[in-house]
Structure 1
């Protein structure tokens, strides 16, 4: 019996599998497709997903395989009328190292994640379709289409908008489908040299639109058109290469023969739907299996990746007996409101974009706002968010990055490097935080990494070496990002969201919060912290 069976090997399922595997959780991941898809689909991770991928150890591969978002050129009647770069003037900041997403075909991102997963000895089992689920007291019995079966302590459905797992659970998928707003999609090739591959080309006319975005590292481009061809009765026709060529010639005013290849054709309907539950006993839902929405803003795949990152550490803590099963309830508590917000945002951005393209110079840049970066999504309402915080950062928020120096070695580092990995992080600002840091490290061992963060005062190397770990916030970026005024302890969850910001002398708050995430632990009696704790308890 495996601990977790993941159904669906898209970006959501692969992110979850990588996160669980690096935590040492036995995991299987299956997909009903007999082979890996080669369609481009999603255009790539947004800044928050890049932070997740950095934590998983694959961001360098993603950055190398993709490209920055391309500037957009808008045409009217075949003539270029405006250029726009939604990210012009945007730059990384100390607390947010990624100011824009990355353009990369979904199939290439999946390859990178599969390679990472293979490093943990786990491979996707293709051609494996789930047809039945029986949830028992201690496990889920899973039936496959070939007549075989398996048992898993938990099952996670990451199997897309038509999720078999969701349907087997009987979970409602409420919402609506707009049959009028149809879009035809595909991967196409254009005669080399005809169009600049450094531009996202967008043709808008009174009777429709065509959008063509080059795919990094290929000769292919993403093709989107605002509606299918229709027959004499107005019924939509199935997309075809010849139809693509006709519309290409009509909107671009270029010869139809320049569109030399059109594959992976499909019709897209705007669906706005959300599951009413994310967990039924030992079975959970993530990604498109739990929510679908308009493509405006590019949040579909990204919301799924971030679902998986929220869920992975919680499953691991429960499976290892370090947290009660109620911790899994916080997955729905935190992610369902984010999905509802995403449905509203993408629907509003779609309306704004459709309005913008009616006028010359309008285009898809209207879909992009600061909120589509994902950096402002937090869980302040969560039961895991201990009340409190300083400055703009509160418990539940995304944990900011900051450049620092390793106080022991003098080497430059960043808070994201400190946070990366399957552990809870405790940051102690000021000398008064040292007792809480020592207690946390002694009681929770490898599950917690505790760091004293020095401000302008650089510690002596011997002093730094005596602490659990020490960072020098040389330029004050960490103090500024977390709104630190006095001696303070910050607990950062394994998914890099702030769990607690507390006065350093409130050691009980720190202890109780860590116990909630990692089980009740007693300090090692042979450690300094253990001796101090024993004396304090009398």
Structure 2
């Protein structure tokens, strides 16, 4: 292939890298993606796509296929704990607890009010083919699987990389202005001296992926079913639907064995263990694969080194609790894509890319800490009620028997446990973790407003237009078409300026500022008599500015700046805000001449 030049090289074709490719294509940025594997992942990895991720996929036209192939919320909106899936013993197949989770059941109303789309469940090995298809369609000939990065050097004003075609052995030199390292940390981090700080090798886990007909025993509607064996904690596990049919008709499954089980399995022993764990000794099982993986809690000390940006697992790795790993990586790519587009089209200085680390690294730190806290708490909860792996063997069966005792004392034991289970809402009802995070520093213009109070369990989300926060969702109507406030930025590099019904001066200013900065700024007056009808008064409720005020929204649907009122010089104020967002490290913020 010789040598090629591209604005951006993406290394890694997993969920993060493929998402980055789609986003860059929508921003009109040329790029090359290389992935050493011949195909997308076949390993059962992440399976929960949270509300913020689904909003991002909706913005980029990926949501319909994800929703079509994924499980609807009523099929996964609970978490369940039971002693085993089946069995005829006195403590077998007994329900311990069940609670609404991730937008299901009684949570649904709050999630529907918070965003234009609900969370979805689609395992990563089913998601990635969708992403690959869209990436290839939007960037033909530049998404290359079976291509391995063999070396790179940052030359200061560009990166030179060598890529080998693993099928032909051909070497290609790639010259890129920037690199997105979505390689899981295999190459770039260590080569660049990036330190992964935190806890290595916390837990070693075995996951088996298999097919079986569990329809006679499966309780529909659960994202996770924790099986807590009444006698042997080594047989405790977590069972997860993997589709492609959802509910009782599910064909494929993932089963996380107990981390206390050090066994290395072959096909025969793995199938035996699956039957033993589920309590189904005669189950017909087809084993697809066994994977061994390590739980870590690690954060890169830097997200940017020169012209290389780390994203996804290359930047952060956390326990699977709360489902923040893949979601965080996709959101990294979303944050980075519009900034790369602004810099590469000359609309912003290179310093804008420094805000990627300033914004996303604190979120990565919080998500790791939150996942660790939720995982630790879950284990402590199970130990406290007698089902945990740390309960001494001689006490395990008596305590579990007491839990199911039909006597008044048994009712008290269950009532106490139910109150303790409620504290797990920080692990499976944490809507404010999913969509309530904010960028306190970076490509935002603070206005001195205080953030809304956050509940300790992060189970209540408070919408706000405070700069740095995700734009609150509200339903609007224009020309008989229903749309969200999130739709106003579009899927490209556009900003949006949202005003109240008296915001005409801001809309006029937006047109002038857009022309001078050569950036799209879509202005929308919302309210009575305005172009956009405020359905049910949703925007007025959440806008936190007067009818004469304005909210400037970045292409990633985070609030960049706001003016609570009309202002004396809308053009000057808006131009200064845009300049500060696009050139945050420029010192004295420039405003184009004539604005």
* 1:410-447 residue CA offsets vs partner (Å, 9 max, x unmatched): 4332212223322111112242x322321222331473
Q: Is 1:167 the equivalent of 2:193?
A: no
In 2: Cα distance, 1:88 partner to 1:214 partner: 18
* 1:42-89 residue CA offsets vs partner (Å, 9 max, x unmatched): 113101101111111111111111012253332224322233332321
Give the number of equivalent residue pairs.
502
* 1:458-493 residue CA offsets vs partner (Å, 9 max, x unmatched): 24xxxxxxxxxx312142211211223341111000
Q: Is 1:338 the equivalent of 2:363?
A: yes
* 1:114-165 residue CA offsets vs partner (Å, 9 max, x unmatched): 22223313352111111211111321000224443211111110011x4212
Matched residue SS, 1:339: helix
Matched residue SS, 1:237: coil
In 1: Cα distance, 2:497 partner to 2:521 partner: 6
**Partner residue of 2:466 out of 385, 394, 410:** 394
Q: Is 1:186 the equivalent of 2:208?
A: yes
Contact 1:228 1:238 in 2 (8 A): no
Matched residue SS, 1:159: coil
* 1:209-266 residue CA offsets vs partner (Å, 9 max, x unmatched): 122111232510121112264xxxxxx33233333333333333221x4151222311
Contact 2:33 2:143 in 1 (8 A): yes
Q: Is 1:117 the equivalent of 2:135?
A: yes
In 1: Cα distance, 2:358 partner to 2:79 partner: 38
**Partner residue of 2:37 out of 33, 36, 42:** 33
**Partner residue of 1:20 out of 9, 24, 36:** 24
User: What residue is the counterpart of 1:463 in the other structure?
Assistant: none
CA distance 1:481–1:239, shift in 2 (3 Å):
farther
Matched residue SS, 2:94: strand
**Partner residue of 2:257 out of 225, 229, 245:** 225
Alignment of 1:307-346 (within 5 A): 307-346=332-371
**Partner residue of 1:241 out of 267, 276, 289:** 267
Greater alpha carbon shift after TM alignment, 298-307 vs 267-276: 267-276
Matched residue SS, 1:14: helix
In 1: Cα distance, 2:275 partner to 2:359 partner: 47
TM-score by length of 1: 0.87
User: What residue is the counterpart of 2:523 in the other structure?
Assistant: 451
* 1:379-416 residue CA offsets vs partner (Å, 9 max, x unmatched): 1333523325598431100001111121xx24332212
Structure 2 portions without partners, runs of 5+? 84-90, 246-250, 388-416, 453-463, 584-589
Structure 1 portions without partners, runs of 5+? 230-235, 460-469, 524-529, 534-538
User: What residue is the counterpart of 2:320 in the other structure?
Assistant: 295
In 2: Cα distance, 1:367 partner to 1:164 partner: 32
Alignment of 1:6-405 (within 5 A): 6-67=10-71, 68=73, 69-76=76-83, 77-81=91-95, 82-86=97-101, 87-92=104-109, 96-97=114-115, 101-122=119-140, 123-145=142-164, 146=169, 147-160=171-184, 162-179=185-202, 181-196=203-218, 198=220, 199=222, 200-205=224-229, 206-208=232-234, 209-218=236-245, 219-227=251-259, 229=261, 236-255=262-281, 257-258=282-283, 260-358=285-383, 359=385, 367-371=427-431, 374-382=434-442, 384-388=444-448, 392-405=464-477
Contact 1:30 1:128 in 2 (8 A): yes
Q: Which segments of structure 1 move beyond 4 Å, counting only runs of 4 or more?
A: 92-95, 360-366, 388-391, 517-523
* 1:341-376 residue CA offsets vs partner (Å, 9 max, x unmatched): 111101000001112233357888773132575111
**Partner residue of 2:506 out of 417, 436, 439:** 436
Matched residue SS, 2:243: coil
* CA shift for structure 1 position 8: 0.4
Greater alpha carbon shift after TM alignment, 151-160 vs 502-511: 502-511
Matched residue SS, 2:322: coil
Q: CA RMSD, aligned part only?
A: 2.5
User: What residue is the counterpart of 2:548 in the other structure?
Assistant: 487
